[in-house]
Amino acid sequence: MLTPDLNHPHTCYILMNQSESECIAGSDDGGKFPVVMDDGVDPQIKRLVLGAELRRLRDMAGISGRELADLIGISQSKVSRIEAGAAMPSSVQVAKWAVAVSAPEDARQVLDSLVQAAFTEVQTWRTALHTRPHLQRDIQKLEQSTRRIFTYQPALVPGLLQTAEYAKRVLTLFQPGHPEGKIANVLAARLDRQLILYDESKEFEFLITEAALRWRPGPPRLLLAQLDRIASLSTLENVSVGLIPLSAQAVASMTHAFVMFETDDPETAHDGAAREEGEDEERDTVVTVETVHANLVVKGDESVGLYRTRWSLLRQMAVFDDEARVFLSEVADTIRAGR
């Protein structure tokens, strides 16, 4: 696989071959080289290729970054970050960009293909763990860069809320598994992640099903300690824990777990001038979904919007605050009674 020099002046055109998951990048001297854009490609490369094409189209149109920002309704700094591959534009922003620079139809098709390739990232666990013993540090970096985290878990207690013993047993069940003798290191890294719950500049909301609360990776005492920890953490001002009883009337299906990481655009959120002009805060949101074989990262307004809608519906089924803590106590009573 060849990787283009995205700063090279002759890199000027990109075509997508969907059937072969191949990106053909051309230059003004007629040369071409393939850039494979399948799931194995580094997500940063996908963003860089998209950003380079957007920059090329803007340059060809003779429009400055500030002019483009005004035309499509985002900050100039975000235009720069998108072109540098440091930020991911929404599909709506890309469509507005294409209109603003009067991109021809074939270029718009290229952009659509590049956006779709960049919006969803699939990384198998074996690939992800090939160069490092665990992924806890990667997850921690994402959590630290985020202002709000929304976690839905229908199968087990979320990692940020787990006791040490519960987490240890969960990690031993993970497939494809961690290197022999490394569970202690992975466990320490997971517990270190939990310190972020005490950072009051961040907000956390959890939705946990009753089935997840009752899933028992160890003896009853382990689960009782876990329920007690959830009750304790739910009293933090920046932590909201919603519990979905089995008796709740369903308004949405409870399929797989997912986590939404939401951050205010750093340039817009702290730009007083932008706020005075009435510019809405931009929020970048990604969703992660852990499957049996891989981790899925979802971006883009349309796809993320589906998860926001599902979250809203699931939340309607949950109990919170004192009612949730009473429910935890009731579940604990049934566990003590052996039911």
- In this prediction, residue 79 carries a pLDDT of 94
DSSP string, 57-115: HHHHHT--HHHHHHHHTS-HHHHHHHHTTSS---HHHHHHHHHHTT--HHHHHHHHHHH
**178 and 310 housed in the same domain:** yes
**210 and 141 housed in the same domain:** yes
Domain boundary among 66, 89, 119: 119
User: Could you give the count of Cα atoms lying within 13 Å of 146 in the half-sphere of its Cβ?
Assistant: 22
Domain boundary among 119, 146, 180: 119
Residue 71 belongs to a domain: yes
Residue 5 belongs to a domain: no
Residues facing 152 on adjacent strands: 207, 258
Query: 181-195 pLDDT, tens per residue?
Result: 789 999 999 999 999
Task: Spell out the residues 6+ positions from residue 212 whose beta carbon is closer than 8 angstroms to its own.
Answer: 153, 154, 155, 156, 157
Do residues 301 and 286 touch, judged by C-beta distance below 8 A? no
For the segment 37-47, the average pLDDT, to the nearest whole number, is 65
Structure tokens at 309: 């809608």
**218 and 108 housed in the same domain:** no
**16 and 107 housed in the same domain:** yes
**102 and 140 housed in the same domain:** no
Residue 171 belongs to a domain: yes
Q: How high does pLDDT run on average in the chain?
A: 83
Residue 124 belongs to a domain: no
**115 and 181 housed in the same domain:** no
Structure tokens at 137: 């540090």
Better-predicted residue by pLDDT, 43 or 309: 309
Better-predicted residue by pLDDT, 103 or 32: 103
Query: 283-296 pLDDT, tens per residue?
Result: 678 999 999 988 88
- In this prediction, residue 11 carries a pLDDT of 40
**101 and 142 housed in the same domain:** no
Residue 44 belongs to a domain: yes
pTM > 0.85: yes or no? no
Domain with residue 140: its CATH number is: 3.30.870
> Dihedral through CA 162, CA 164, CA 168, CA 174, nearest 10?
20
Residue 234 belongs to a domain: yes
**205 and 326 housed in the same domain:** yes
Characterize the bridge pairing of strands 239-244 and 203-209. Answer: parallel
Alpha-carbon gap, residue 51 to 87, rounded angstroms = 9
Whole domain around residue 25: which residue ranges? 11-119
Least confident of 25-29, 171-175, 212-216: 25-29
Cα of first residue to Cα of last residue in the chain, in angstroms, is 57
For the segment 226-254, the average pLDDT, to the nearest whole number, is 97
Residue 94 belongs to a domain: yes
- In this prediction, residue 214 carries a pLDDT of 98
Q: Phi, psi at residue 214, to the nearest 5°?
A: -90, -10
Count the domains in the chain. 2
**70 and 165 housed in the same domain:** no
- In this prediction, residue 230 carries a pLDDT of 98
For the segment 18-27, the average pLDDT, to the nearest whole number, is 40
3-state secondary structure of 175: coil
